[in-house]
């Protein structure tokens, strides 16, 4: 496994996850997710209270996770293979976290859970596509 390639594609995936997450959650689904929150209060931070270093680190680690899986076990180095694998990973991870949280907390209503699983699938596909594409850069056809 080429560690440099893994880190480069992981960082590219992390940057993509950050901006795609902002688009999906911060713009497209913001009102829907607010309307479908659970009974827990004070859960979401206001924009001025965001802990940016943690948000950025979390997204970078997400990209590195996709890159590690793709480089270590799957040898994924195309946009289309990355999109497919990323969607599956996003779906499984999103469903695992969301359903566990739904079963144990009052953070989201069930409609919010289903929407978040769908959003996680799309976010995973986009992130995985970029990681796969960057992995394939420089390869001879």
> pLDDT tens for residues 81-104?
999 999 999 999 999 999 999 999
Give CA–CA dist 9/60, Å, rounded.
10
Name the residue ranges covered by the structural domains of the chain.
Answer: 3-22+56-136
Q: pTM of the predicted model, to two decimals?
A: 0.93
Average pLDDT, the chain: 95
pLDDT at 140: 66
Q: Confidence band (pLDDT; 50, 70, 90) for 19?
A: very high
Taking 90 as the threshold, does the pLDDT of residue 40 lie above it?
Answer: no
């Amino acid at each position: 496994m080429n560690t440099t390639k893994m880190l480069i594609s992981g960082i590219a995936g992390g940057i993509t996850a950050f901006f795609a997450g902002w688009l999906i959650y911060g713009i497209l689904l913001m009102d829907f997710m607010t309307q479908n929150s659970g009974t827990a209060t004070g859960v979401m931070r206001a924009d001025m209270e965001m802990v940016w270093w943690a948000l950025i680190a979390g997204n970078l680690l997400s990209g590195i996770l996709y890159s590690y899986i793709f480089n270590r076990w799957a040898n994924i180095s195309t946009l289309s293979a990355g999109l497919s694998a990323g969607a599956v990973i996003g779906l499984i991870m999103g469903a695992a976290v969301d359903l566990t949280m739904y079963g144990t907390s009052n953070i989201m209503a069930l409609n919010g859970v289903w929407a978040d699983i769908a959003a996680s699938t799309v976010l995973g596909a986009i992130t995985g596509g970029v990681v796969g594409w960057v992995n394939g850069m420089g390869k001879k056809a």
